[in-house]
Amino acid sequence: MEVGHWESDTVLGAEQDGVLMTLVERVTKYTLIVKLPSKCAD
């Protein structure tokens, strides 16, 4: 197995007023979660 392959996803809040982005490294399961300011691309 090789370290360095990441999977990303976005999670919307129930009222769609909050957005989280998750990044998970597939081998080690190292996880980063970041709150995004909005769901719109700049």
The DSSP-derived string for 29-41 is --EEEEEES-SS-
Residues 1-42: pLDDT tens digits? 899 999 999 999 988 789 999 999 999 999 999 999 988 887
Residue 39 has a pLDDT of: 83
CA distance 38 to 15: 13
Look at the chain and report how many structural domains it folds into: 1
Q: Assess if residue 11 is contained within a domain.
A: yes
Q: Assess if residue 22 is contained within a domain.
A: yes
Q: Tell me which residue range forms the domain holding 30.
A: 6-36
Residue 10 has a pLDDT of: 94
Residue 15 has a pLDDT of: 83
CA distance 2 to 12: 31
Q: Assess if residue 23 is contained within a domain.
A: yes
Whether 20 and 34 have beta carbons less than 8 Å apart is answered as: yes
Residue 5 has a pLDDT of: 96
Cα-based angle 27, 29, 32 (whole degrees, multiple of 5): 130
